[in-house]
Amino acid sequence: MALRRLCCCCCPEYKPADGFDDLEMRSVESTPATTPRDARGRHVRRNSSIEFWVPGGNRVTSVQPSSLDPSLYETADTDRKVSQLKIAHARRGSTDDVKEETLGTVWSKIHYDAITERLVLRLQRISDLPRKGDNKLYDPMAVICLLPDEKHCFRSKVIRNTCNPCFEDEFAFPLEKVMEHARDLLTCVLRISVYDYNRTHRYNVIGHALFPLADQDLSGRNTVKAPITKRSKITGNLGEVQLSLAYLPYLDRLSVVVNRCKHLKILDKSVTSIDTYAKVTLMCGSDKVKSKRTEVVENTSKPVFNQSLSFVVPYSYLDDTSLVITVMQRTFLRSDAVIGRLVVGPFFYAQGESLTHWGKMAKSSEAKKQWHPLYL
């Protein structure tokens, strides 16, 4: 009734609706004068029902606050957005997925001449080389050799200022000398290494393309292709290493955190655990600048290092800088053995427009963490 008097005082022309006299504030009247309290004297909230009364004496069904069903408020648009998020998450996959970076493609034809016992390679072209930095071209050339011999090597001509060089060069390997070391031709691997030629007559390696002859068409009629990676030899799974990279341009500091390794290949089959450490080498072009190493982690094939190594790298040299991370096994009777290694930098993009780990680091001042496969 107090509400009725207030409305009449504020608005003289106010006329209450029929049945307004029956309006009762049940929520107020039903509330006891003393509410329950806990041991500390604080009010305790009760899950009581709330009753609503409208003019005309119509009563609305009471609702329990805890009985609300969120599914009743979902729409078709909401369901569609949720399903799209699930699909995107499934496509993205886990953040620990290891993907080897592809740095281009080599196109060639391979022909085996049984009469002259020669293996003839026709190097056609190389496509989609990643640019260094934001927009730098190469002077690419190729070096071709036959594994596991590696004694006979050929060099192609240098193509200036391009990321898609066309060579059309032909090279012939005499197999009578190679077969002394590889009795079966199908066990050999043809390796094409791609280099960047600079004005100081030095060659900076971009990557390698491997052609196992057992998997190739040796008739010479069809064009075969292979991706360019940092892997120079065909090896099994040597393990993976997790790195965190960060670059602070105002301090000219490049920080590398070697977090941990997993699935390391144990060279000595008689042991189940090994003593390992990681060595990080700073390279400028083909020159070794400085090396640092982590502490040795003993008796495990899944070492956790969590050690940060910092290098001084001016921003103007960042596009020519790379890091070689080598995981070593400590031995006592001979020199330490190499389990595997990897090279990061200075390519910003790989596999289309996706950023490499180095590209993510260069685009942001925050540390970027990623798993990398080991190779030789």
Mean pLDDT of 173-195: 74
- What does the block give as tokens for 204? 């900076």
Rounded CA-CA distance 158/134 in Å is 23
Rounded CA-CA distance 43/154 in Å is 87
User: pLDDT tens digits for 330-355?
Assistant: 877 678 888 988 888 877 766 566 78
Rounded CA-CA distance 227/208 in Å is 8
- What does the block give as tokens for 320? 């020519």
User: pLDDT tens digits for 124-175?
Assistant: 999 988 877 666 788 899 999 988 777 778 999 999 988 899 999 999 888 7
In this predicted structure, which of 168-172, 198-202, 271-275, 289-293 has the lowest mean pLDDT?
198-202
Under the banding of pLDDT at 50, 70 and 90, the label for residue 221 is confident
Rounded CA-CA distance 21/365 in Å is 69
More confident site: 349 or 187: 187
Omega of the bond leading into 55 within 30 degrees of 0 (cis): no
A 10 A CB-CB count for 306 gives 14
Under the banding of pLDDT at 50, 70 and 90, the label for residue 301 is confident
In this predicted structure, which of 9-23, 33-47, 227-241, 252-266 has the lowest mean pLDDT?
9-23
Under 8 Å between Cβ of 324 and 281: yes
Name the CA dihedral angle for 88, 91, 93, 97, rounded to a multiple of 10 degrees: -140
**Domains of the chain with bracketed CATH:** 102-229 (2.60.40.150), 239-374 (2.60.40.150)
More confident site: 229 or 183: 229
Under 8 Å between Cβ of 372 and 350: no
Rounded CA-CA distance 255/282 in Å is 11
Three-state DSSP state, 224: strand
Omega of the bond leading into 148 within 30 degrees of 0 (cis): yes
User: What is the reported pTM?
Assistant: 0.59
pLDDT value at residue 222: 87
pLDDT value at residue 86: 46
